[in-house]
Amino acid sequence: MSEKQIGKITHYFSRINVGIIELSDSLKVGDKIHIKGHSEDFEQTIDSMQIEHASVNEANAGDSVGISVSSKVHENDAVYKVTQ
């Protein structure tokens, strides 16, 4: 398995457990990501994501996407795409 950094967390909405990722590479629903920060280190699969409150299946570099996260995240946490 290998990892490539594809973005960073820019905001976290604690009431709804949503993290905003500013992407530097593409991301699709079904991709496995690894979020690593000062106090976080976990992996999860992207079940759904949104851009400006609209559901999307794929996002590209430069997009900011909202994803439901399984654990709390913080600004500037690194987001990696996990590949086989």
Q: What is the pLDDT of residue 56?
A: 98
SS3 assignment for 6-43: EEEEEEEECCCCEEEEEECCCEECCCEEEEECCCCEEE
What CATH code is carried by the domain that includes residue 66?
A: 2.40.30.10
Closest CA to 35 of 64, 7, 2: 7
The mean pLDDT values, 10 residues at a time, for the chain of 84 residues are 96 97 98 96 97 97 97 97 93
Q: What is the pLDDT of residue 84?
A: 83
- Spatial CB neighbours of 22, under 8 Å, sequence gap ≥ 6: 7, 8, 10, 63, 64
Range of the domain at 36: 2-83
Predicted structure pTM score: 0.95
In the block, tokens 């000062």 appear at 38
The total number of structural domains in the chain stands at 1
